[in-house]
Amino acid sequence: MTRRRPTAAALAAAIGVVGACGGAGTGGRAALDVFAAASLTEALTALAPSFEAVHPGVEVRFTFGSSSALARQVADGAPADVLATADEATMAPLIADGRVHDPAIVARNRLTIAVAPGNPLGVAGLADLARPGLTVVLCAPEAPCGRLARAALGAAGITVRPASSEENVKAVLSRVTLGEADAGVVYVTDVRAVGGRAEAVAIDAGVAADPAVQAVYPMAEVAGADQATAARAFVAFSRSAAGQRSFGAAGFLPP
Amino acid sequence: MTAGLVAELELSRGPLALAVHLAVAPGATVAVLGPNGAGKTTLLRALAGLVALDRGCVELDGAVLEQAPGGPWAPPEHRSVAMVFQDHALFPHLSALDNVAFGLRARGMGRRAARTRAAERLDRLGLADRADARPGQLSGGEAQRVALARALAVEPRLLLLDEPLAALDATTRLTTRRELARHLAGHGGARLLVTHDPLDAMALADHLVVLEAGRIVQEGSSAELAGRPRSAYVADLVGVNLFRGRADGDRVDVGGAGLVVSARASGDVLAVVHPRAVVLHRVRPDGSPRNVWRGPVEEIEPAGDRARVRVGGPRPMVAEVTAAAVADLGLVPGAEVWVAVKATEIDVYPA
Amino acid sequence: MSHPERRRRASRLALVAGALAASFLALPLVGLLWRTPWSGLGHSLGQPGVAGALRLSLVTSLSATAVAVALGVPLAWVLARADLPGRRVIRALALVPLVLPPVVGGVALLLALGRRGLVGQWLDQWLGIRLPFTTAGAVVAQAFVALPFVVLPAEGAFGSADRRFEDAARTLGAGGWTVFRRVTLPLAWPALAAGAVLAWARALGEFGATITFAGSAPGRTTTVPVEVYLGLESGRFEDAVVLSLVLVAVSVTVLLVRRDSWLGPLRA
């Protein structure tokens, strides 16, 4: 009988460790899990150290991906504390269900066309995307960047048959930087993030200024989060001047 | 142009070193006898072109099939050589008819013509009603006959048979052997038959060749082999006692013990004693036989109303006596007997 | 405990373990059936995206199987019969798609056959052939992952084949190709057929390599697994479940059919 007790104790200890894993960061800090749209990668990654400096007990952990995928995961109960999507339409159902609350716009973004450096094929605007023989990729229709791109094309009356509809905006950009696609519709911030590996071709001013084709980034606290206080602080920080500096540096427009 | 097969083969396969010179005239059957591992199957495979020679030449009806090293080599499909395998090797996924037609179709004949020809062949072998059967549904004897039909269908100039009756039971063997002899006689080309059964060899072949450890140790008619065996294997095959020794006048020294013989000879000789000429006694016989000695009974092998008794001692011998004699003499393994052999019954010839 | 009792206890344990395993395997399938929108089944299947994905998957998986067989059978033959020095290396290569994560396979295909790929750039420049984003590209990705399923059983069959039948065929006058066509192949048929069926099932379910190499465009490269994934991402949950059900039904049928072909190789 004496052989059994240590086993139970070890088991309990293991469960204890696993149970604590959800909210424990490194060095005894609390972990704040932020799920954010892929296009926010550079801006939020740059913002995190400043936030942690002001909130020393918190460590920010990011999961970047397509807004629609992340929204679905949060809806299914993924352990996120903060959710930031690339459009309000993706966030709306979660607000309605009470899965997230207190959304606030933290940034805006503009679409642009990414091409190879030097623009070898001479793409000048949205109209050129309909050129036969040009390999064009867009985001999937369900993703915010996909919705916006198709809206912009529709508004300009241009029909494009994309060679592929990628899952998120970073995937679209990879196709262009790898040379598999000639052009892709992404955000201005994404082209900026890859530096010299892609070039941005501006979308016609009239279309670009249309608020309907501007990406709006709401950030919200997830209901029942482990780190509710820290989550609220993070959203607030993102809207503060300090946070907005990171967004601006990445090329985002203010909310 | 020399008709038939003329072959000189040298070939090493692992522990076996084959070195053989062989000729078979068209219309003749030569049987190759030998113990397991002698190289009989390797010989056939080499003639068929399934394994290449190290050195030598194979000529069939004047055409050089192979010359090694450096000369031409005809692959099996270009040789007019067909083989009947030990356990028929009929294609399991084809009917008997399609099996027989296979070779004809492979050589370019149209499907219908080939099947008609095949049907004729099967009919000639009395298997017309089994044409649609699969090999798995045929009896051993039937399968072997279909295999023969398949080989004969391509009218080969050389027909090779690898232990064609080995896989059959005793009764089927007898009937199949008779039929085989008949069909072979009807075949115009040369025939080479490999077997380990001397009865098969004697029934089917005119000329016998004995292969041991890759070399021919003796060849000739069955009478020659039976009368003058040149190796223990042949002696065993034929069923006689063979001794090898040095002759000096009328004595032959066979490993320490001597035999008194009637013919005078000198030098290395072989001495043959037929088991029927060996007489067994319970007590020391007092008579004319010059060769008398004692030995223990080692083994008694009954054979119908006779028995073969092996006696050990200085000159191990097999005696053939009646079963009644075994009983009368009370012969059992271990019992001591006196063996007597007349000098006139010993056949001596140069080794 | 006496022997018979011990055996009974052991077999009871085995039964319990077996039942657990069976439940583990059956549970996801039961879950799928539980959530299937049975009343809306016909409607879902009729959706253009769904129907298109089904049609595309059928075409690409069958084509990929054909490619895998055309390439795999000769390779298996070489591995089983030829006396090549690098045989072990080639055999390992043939099995790489089995152990490679499919997405990694897709990336590797891009680097090799993409527009700027090692070989792909020449295909594009000299022949104007581009594989990414095309149905052909999806076929290539599926064939890549399906190939080992053909090579493995085929090599086994050719290797263990009874050479005497081939010897007999040769002595009867059949040349190399005839022997292969009329003797070796028919005798290896059961193993080859089983391999082809498995390859087809693998090609049908292929996702990672397809989406990475060929991308996703409806009617061109959006196969059923890709459509299921996208459907899940975009909230078209019912469509995703229906498509999953179709794939499961196909897989189960394949498994049942395969068992039959193993039972009766040659009624010789």
pLDDT digits (tens, 9 = 90+) for A117-129: 999 998 888 889 9
- What pLDDT score does A12 carry? 47
> Residue A16: pLDDT above 50?
no
Contact flag B150-C172 (C-beta cutoff 8 Å): yes
Q: Is B31 helix (H, G, I), strand (E, B) or coil?
A: strand
- What pLDDT score does C261 carry? 52
- What pLDDT score does C1 carry? 56
Contact flag C171-B81 (C-beta cutoff 8 Å): yes
| Nearest CA-CA distance, residue A168 and chain C, Å | 11
Would you list the DSSP string of A78-129?
A: ---SEEE-SSHHHHHHHHHHTSEEEEEEEEEEEEEEEE-TT-TT---SGGGG
Interface test with C, best of B73, B81, B91, B152 (most C CBs within 10 A): B91
Enumerate the residues of chain B whose CB falls inside 8 A of the CB of residue C173.
77, 103, 106-107, 154
Contact flag B134-C187 (C-beta cutoff 8 Å): no
pLDDT band at C74 (very low <50, low <70, confident <90, very high): very high
Strand order in the sheet with B317-322: B279-281, B336-341, B291-303, B306-311, B317-322
A100-115 and A183-187 beta bridge pairing:
antiparallel
Strand order in the sheet with B207-212: B63-68, B55-60, B5-13, B16-24, B215-220, B207-212, B29-33, B190-195, B158-162, B81-84
Q: Which of C244, C175, A241 is nearest to B74 (CA)?
A: C175
In this prediction, residues B133-157 reach a mean pLDDT of: 92
> Residue A211: pLDDT above 80?
no
Enumerate the residues of chain A whose CB falls inside 8 A of the CB of residue C211.
167
In this prediction, residues A21-45 reach a mean pLDDT of: 82
Of C164, C175, C266, nearest to B93 by CB-CB distance is C266
- Fill in the DSSP letter of residue A240: S
B107 — contact with chain C (CB < 8 Å)? yes
Lowest mean pLDDT among A16-25, A35-44, A149-158, B263-272: A16-25
Interface test with C, best of A165, A168, A170 (most C CBs within 10 A): A165
pLDDT band at C260 (very low <50, low <70, confident <90, very high): low
What does residue B314 show for φ and ψ, rounded to 5 degrees? Answer: -65, -30
Give the residue carrying structure tokens 């206080």: A229
Lowest mean pLDDT among A30-34, A87-91, B94-98, C40-44: C40-44
Comparing C8 with C105, the larger pLDDT belongs to: C105
Beta bridge partners of B279: B340
Enumerate the residues of chain C whose CB falls inside 8 A of the CB of residue A96.
none
Sequence-ordered list of residues with C-beta below 8 angstroms from that of B205, at least 6 positions apart, any chain = B29, B30, B31, B193, B222
- What pLDDT score does C206 carry? 93
Interface test with C, best of B51, B86, B93 (most C CBs within 10 A): B93
Contact flag B91-C170 (C-beta cutoff 8 Å): no
Q: How many CA atoms lie within 13 A of A79 on its CB side?
A: 12
- What pLDDT score does A175 carry? 92
- The predicted-structure confidence for B221-236, as pLDDT tens digits, reads as follows 988 888 888 888 888 8
Comparing C254 with A152, the larger pLDDT belongs to: A152
Classify each residue of A56-88 as buried b or exposed e, where b means 16 or more C-beta atoms within 10 Å of its C-beta.
eebbbebebbbbbbbbbbbeeeeebbbbbbbbe
> Residue A1: pLDDT above 70?
no
In this prediction, residues A71-100 reach a mean pLDDT of: 91
Contact flag A72-C221 (C-beta cutoff 8 Å): no
> Residue A11: pLDDT above 80?
no
- The predicted-structure confidence for B39-65, as pLDDT tens digits, reads as follows 999 999 999 999 999 999 999 998 999
In this prediction, residues B114-141 reach a mean pLDDT of: 91
pLDDT band at C158 (very low <50, low <70, confident <90, very high): very high
Contact flag C233-A68 (C-beta cutoff 8 Å): yes
Scanning every residue of chain A, which has its alpha carbon at the shortest distance from the alpha carbon of C116?
A179
Q: Which of B332, B178, B330, B341 is nearest to B252 (CA)?
A: B341
B50 — contact with chain C (CB < 8 Å)? yes
- What pLDDT score does C204 carry? 92
Of B77, B102, B135, nearest to C268 by CB-CB distance is B135
- What pLDDT score does B239 carry? 85
Comparing A6 with A52, the larger pLDDT belongs to: A52
H or E element: which one contains B300? strand B291-303
| Nearest CA-CA distance, residue B218 and chain C, Å | 29
Comparing A181 with C48, the larger pLDDT belongs to: A181
The rounded distance, in Å, linking the Cα atoms of A179 and A135 is 10
- What pLDDT score does A25 carry? 66
B190-195 and B158-162 beta bridge pairing:
parallel
| Nearest CA-CA distance, residue B143 and chain C, Å | 13
- What pLDDT score does C264 carry? 41
CATH 3.40.50.300 is right for the domain spanning B5-236: yes
Of C110, C133, C216, nearest to A178 by CB-CB distance is C110
Please state whether B238 falls in left (phi above 0), alpha (psi between -120 and 50) or beta. Answer: alpha
B207-212 and B215-220 beta bridge pairing:
antiparallel
Scanning every residue of chain C, which has its alpha carbon at the shortest distance from the alpha carbon of B94?
C268
One-letter amino acid of C156: G
pLDDT band at B1 (very low <50, low <70, confident <90, very high): low
- What pLDDT score does C259 carry? 60
Comparing A169 with A10, the larger pLDDT belongs to: A169
Scanning every residue of chain C, which has its alpha carbon at the shortest distance from the alpha carbon of A165?
C216
- The predicted-structure confidence for B280-335, as pLDDT tens digits, reads as follows 998 888 888 888 888 899 989 888 889 999 998 888 889 999 988 888 888 889 88
Average model confidence (pLDDT) for chain A? 85
Beta bridge partners of A82: A34, A221
What does residue B316 show for φ and ψ, rounded to 5 degrees? Answer: -65, 135
| Nearest CA-CA distance, residue C133 and chain B, Å | 45
> Residue A18: pLDDT above 60?
no
In this prediction, residues C133-145 reach a mean pLDDT of: 94
In this prediction, residues A97-116 reach a mean pLDDT of: 91
One-letter amino acid of B257: A
The answer to whether residues A182 and A127 touch, using CB atoms and an 8 Å cutoff, is: no
Structure tokens, C115: 């527009």
Alpha-helical segments (H) within chain A: 4-21, 41-54, 67-75, 88-97, 144-155, 169-178, 188-193, 205-209, 228-239, 241-250
Which CATH number does the domain B239-350 belong to among 2.40.50.100, 3.40.960.10, 1.10.10.10, 3.90.1150.10? 2.40.50.100
Delineate the domains of chain C, giving CATH numbers in brackets: 58-221 (1.10.3720.10)
The answer to whether residues A167 and A129 touch, using CB atoms and an 8 Å cutoff, is: no
> Residue A60: pLDDT above 70?
yes
Contact flag A164-C232 (C-beta cutoff 8 Å): no
Enumerate the residues of chain C whose CB falls inside 8 A of the CB of residue A142.
230, 233-235
| Nearest CA-CA distance, residue B216 and chain C, Å | 25
C83 — contact with chain A (CB < 8 Å)? no
The rounded distance, in Å, linking the Cα atoms of B66 and B60 is 10
Q: Do chains A and C touch (3 or more CB pairs under 8 A)?
A: yes
Structure tokens, A185: 């519709």
- What pLDDT score does B255 carry? 76
Q: Which chains contact C through at least 3 pairs of Cβ atoms less than 8 Å apart?
A: A, B
The answer to whether residues A156 and A127 touch, using CB atoms and an 8 Å cutoff, is: yes
Contact flag B106-C183 (C-beta cutoff 8 Å): no
The answer to whether residues A167 and A142 touch, using CB atoms and an 8 Å cutoff, is: no
Strands (E), B85-172: 158-162
Q: What's the sign of the alpha-carbon dihedral C159, C162, C163, C169? A: negative
In this prediction, residues B68-94 reach a mean pLDDT of: 91
Enumerate the residues of chain B whose CB falls inside 8 A of the CB of residue C170.
49-50, 75-77
pLDDT band at C124 (very low <50, low <70, confident <90, very high): confident
Q: Which of C112, C95, C222 is nearest to C146 (CA)?
A: C95
The rounded distance, in Å, linking the Cα atoms of B55 and B310 is 44
Of B82, B92, B134, nearest to C171 by CB-CB distance is B82
Delineate the domains of chain A, giving CATH numbers in brackets: 9-108+216-250 (3.40.190.10), 109-213 (3.40.190.10)
The answer to whether residues A46 and A12 touch, using CB atoms and an 8 Å cutoff, is: no
- The predicted-structure confidence for B209-222, as pLDDT tens digits, reads as follows 999 999 999 999 98
Contact flag C233-A66 (C-beta cutoff 8 Å): yes
| Nearest CA-CA distance, residue A87 and chain C, Å | 14
> Residue A28: pLDDT above 70?
yes
Q: Which of B334, B333, B325, B346 is nearest to B264 (CA)?
A: B346
In this prediction, residues A88-103 reach a mean pLDDT of: 91
Contact flag A164-C221 (C-beta cutoff 8 Å): yes
Comparing A240 with B314, the larger pLDDT belongs to: A240
Beta bridge partners of B195: B33
The answer to whether residues C117 and C82 touch, using CB atoms and an 8 Å cutoff, is: no
- The predicted-structure confidence for B108-122, as pLDDT tens digits, reads as follows 899 999 999 999 999
Scanning every residue of chain C, which has its alpha carbon at the shortest distance from the alpha carbon of A161?
C217
- What pLDDT score does A22 carry? 47
pLDDT band at C2 (very low <50, low <70, confident <90, very high): low
| Nearest CA-CA distance, residue A112 and chain C, Å | 21
In this prediction, residues C183-202 reach a mean pLDDT of: 92
> Residue C203: pLDDT above 90?
yes
pLDDT band at B254 (very low <50, low <70, confident <90, very high): confident
Sequence-ordered list of residues with C-beta below 8 angstroms from that of B308, at least 6 positions apart, any chain = B275, B300, B301, B318, B319, B320
> What is the CA C102 to chain-centroid distance, rounded?
12
Q: What's the sign of the alpha-carbon dihedral B266, B269, B271, B272? A: negative
The rounded distance, in Å, linking the Cα atoms of A230 and A40 is 19
Helix pair angle (C185-205, C48-81), 10° resolution:
140
> Residue B2: pLDDT above 80?
no
The rounded distance, in Å, linking the Cα atoms of B219 and B160 is 18
> Residue A21: pLDDT above 50?
no
> Residue A5: pLDDT above 90?
no
- Fill in the DSSP letter of residue A254: P
Comparing C261 with B27, the larger pLDDT belongs to: B27
C110 — contact with chain A (CB < 8 Å)? yes
The answer to whether residues C226 and C56 touch, using CB atoms and an 8 Å cutoff, is: no
The answer to whether residues A37 and A91 touch, using CB atoms and an 8 Å cutoff, is: no
Give residue limits of the domains in chain B. Answer: 5-236, 239-350
> Residue A243: pLDDT above 70?
yes
B81 — contact with chain C (CB < 8 Å)? yes
- What pLDDT score does A214 carry? 82
In this prediction, residues B9-27 reach a mean pLDDT of: 91
Give the residue carrying structure tokens 């050089």: B64
| Nearest CA-CA distance, residue C108 and chain A, Å | 13
The rounded distance, in Å, linking the Cα atoms of C250 and A141 is 29
In this prediction, residues A19-37 reach a mean pLDDT of: 73
One-letter amino acid of C258: R
| Nearest CA-CA distance, residue A52 and chain C, Å | 32
Structure tokens, A102: 């207190």
The answer to whether residues A38 and A64 touch, using CB atoms and an 8 Å cutoff, is: yes
Q: Which chains contact B through at least 3 pairs of Cβ atoms less than 8 Å apart?
A: C
Enumerate the residues of chain B whose CB falls inside 8 A of the CB of residue C166.
none
> Residue A167: pLDDT above 80?
yes
CA Rg value for chain B: 25
Residues of A within an 8 Å Cβ radius of C: 66, 68-69, 72, 93, 135, 137, 140-142, 161-167, 175, 178-181
Q: Which of C238, C263, C187 is nearest to C49 (CA)?
A: C238
